[in-house]
Amino acid sequence: MRRIAFVPRPAGFRFYHTHVVAGADLNRGTYTGQVGPLYIEPKDNPGAYDREVFLVLKEFEPSFSRGGDMAMDFLAGEPLKDLQEMGKKADNEAQEKTKGYEVGYELFSINGKMLGHGEPIRVKQGERVLFHVLNASAGETRSLALPGHLFRVVALDGNPVPAPTDVPVLWLGTAERISAVVEMNHPGIWVMGDLADDDRKRGMGIVIEYAGAKGKPQWTKPKPFRWDYTQFGSPNASPAKPDETIEMTIVKHNGALNGFNQWTLNGEAFSMQAMKPMYKVREGRRYRLQFRNASDDIHPLHLHRHSFDLVRVGGKPTAGVIKDVVMLGGFQEIEFDFVADNPGLTLFHCHQQLHMDFGFMALFDYA
């Protein structure tokens, strides 16, 4: 047993999980159930809702496959030609011409129950329900829709957004969190679930049941919708100028590690022994990280011990969207700023277990 005492901060919706390296062992790391939500009550809470419901999205029974069927085209922004060229070059140099291993799942759940097996969420007409949604996956992107309803996104990764906005679908990369209010104004019995039919049929959903409604839970597919972080930001605010800019280019090396894809940041795969790559920062300075993704995969980028401010996403400038995980689209760029305000070794990594275990990590240290 180990007992740890700490002051929880910042307030908001957080994610706790094992950080063990799983590598090729699907019984370790975040492939297991060693994950959960943690809510740190803010000091002030206007409470503009009637009740709160926490939802943890999690897959079980993982297995290896070659190639996957994950949604790719839902993020705003277009792929960049030079990054595609760079990716093509890496593919040509790859040791294996087949795609590296990916992980798929048999079972899908919300709050530990497959769709139709747990208690429904029972609501009354006119109720405002604040959902706190956590994607606790080891590597999947998740979506969530509730037919006939909109989600008013009020916080991302536990941090209130400058511009709360109504959206028909939520999209969450691994480890991302969304807090959104749904006004229950469309009586019936509904499936709130993932847009991927296979995943929803194998459990990724939960029933919403209005008082007095009868019948089978209904699902209808929402219209295509692009997820754009900048719609929740301040359109006119310009972020403070950074003291320093660090560029990181992400490259995939197909099957380079016994059939597993290897990931490099600026040409280096992270090594636990060498503790490289390592970036030095100075306390109090503002750093801009510019990520260039030369792979077709979406990466949920995560920085430990700091929150960051999105600056540019898919070519669009923004400000005020504070996060600790953000999805970087295939062959796209993203920029965010963080202030070095928490001295100590700080890990940066892709939150996909399969990526961080095979090179996609870096360390920041304070000078």
Q: Point out which residues bind Cu ion (CB under 5 A).
A: 299, 350, 352, 355
Both tokens of residue 226?
């692009």
- Our CB check for Cu ion shows the closer of 149 and 355 to be 355
> Smallest distance, Å, CB 73 to Cu ion?
17
> Smallest distance, Å, CB 75 to Cu ion?
14
> Smallest distance, Å, CB 44 to Cu ion?
36
- Our CB check for Cu ion shows the closer of 102 and 309 to be 102
- Our CB check for Cu ion shows the closer of 209 and 324 to be 324
> Smallest distance, Å, CB 128 to Cu ion?
36
- Our CB check for Cu ion shows the closer of 294 and 350 to be 350
d(Cα 155, Cα 163) in Å, to the nearest integer?
Answer: 9
> Smallest distance, Å, CB 343 to Cu ion?
27
d(Cα 175, Cα 324) in Å, to the nearest integer?
Answer: 9
CA separation, residue 72 to residues 97, 106, 141, 171, 286 (Å) = 21, 20, 9, 11, 32
Residues with Cβ within 8 Å of 199's Cβ and at least 6 positions away in sequence, in order, are 59, 108
| Long-range contacts formed by 241-247: CB under 8 A, 24+ apart | 241/286, 242/286, 242/287, 242/288, 242/337, 243/285, 243/286, 243/287, 244/281, 244/285, 244/286, 244/287, 244/288, 245/287, 245/288, 245/289, 245/290, 246/279, 246/287, 246/288, 246/289, 246/290, 247/290, 247/292
- Our CB check for Cu ion shows the closer of 175 and 184 to be 175
> Smallest distance, Å, CB 299 to Cu ion?
3
- Our CB check for Cu ion shows the closer of 132 and 299 to be 299
Q: Which residue has the tokens 């991927």?
A: 196
